Structure 1
Amino acid sequence: MPAKLAPHILTEIERLHQAHNYDPQILQVFAQLVLTKPPKDKKNKPLTLPQLKQALYRKFNVTSTVALRKNGKFQMAIDGTEPLNYALKATWEQLYRDLIDVLPNEQHQTGPDCINGINIFNYFRPWQVFSLDPEAATDKDIRDAYHRLSKIYHPDNPKTGNRRIFERLEQMYRSLTYKP
């Protein structure tokens, strides 16, 4: 059941009804909508350290950090990275980003380094950044998506140009169009 509206809100609804002939019921519904707190989105809650570890253990089919560090597939996956400090949550978050997926609390991000909800410097997800389906996208689709974004972020664009973003987009484009 909706909460009772405060007297000052009911007075304003009546004033708007008298002055502009607005429907008071619609205004009351709108007031309820504005005043109601949205439900908390549980899926965007940050993962805890044990949850991060368990996700990586499942990915590599191990049961402990010791077993993970000895796992050949894991060693190949992190080959070339700097030494990892497994005591830090940040290490586990980066491993999750690199090896599993976008962290739940980092989905649908906005900001200067974000394109299509992805922070392009935290994640290398070219299909998402270019808004393409990896199963259906053609070479032309990839090229068109890249050109659309590169026009926006090209360093010569005085309004929206950004060399860092442009170079990252080039890396993503090359990764999608690489032919051995």
Structure 2
Amino acid sequence: MTEENNNINNTEDDKVHDGSDSDGIKELNNPAPNWILFVLLLTYGFSLFYLIHYFGYPNNGNDQVTEYKNKMATVETEKKLEQDSAKVGVVMTREEILTEGSKLYLQKGCIACHGMKGEGNAIGPNLTDNFWINGCSEESLITMVTEGKPEKGMTPYKTMMTPEQIKTISLYVMQGLVGSNPDNAKAPQGVECKP
């Protein structure tokens, strides 16, 4: 150690970098501290893991495309439920439609002709299959419930239920009963409707 500048001289690490000298100060080529090297290696390791995890193999479910598709599927489902609820006149979730529709189905006596689970009986047709007698759309079902078909035994419900109740029970049939496949279901009648 010299008294002039209190620097340690002649150590193994003190290697002159390029011989540049400015006012007696030499640039040395000392190694980086170990903790900086550790942080650098840790960063490399994390970036390698991140690249493999998110981009390393196809269809891993973690990429932005899959995330976008999943989000859009959720949005489409929610949008469809909102549209179905908007047709009812109030915003209702699928669970609310099924709960309210089930209550109306029991209260208004639909079970007398269509059975407890919509399976149909000697009077009314099966409501749980994809075969429909009077059209495949929600509107045709609403018209059937509203106007009825007295010659076939279907009572018109326009004076017994509000339009919102008729729409709710129609949505209940289309979303809750169709595809439920109860035991002892009546044979299909009418034309097959695509879901």
**Band of TM-score, shorter chain:** under 0.3
- Alignment TM-score, normalising by the size of structure 2: 0.26
Which protein, 1 or 2, shows the higher relative CO under an 8 Å CA cutoff with sep ≥ 6?
2
Q: Which structure shows the higher helix fraction?
A: 1
Q: Which structure shows the higher strand fraction?
A: 2
Larger radius of gyration: 2
- Alignment TM-score, normalising by the size of structure 1: 0.27
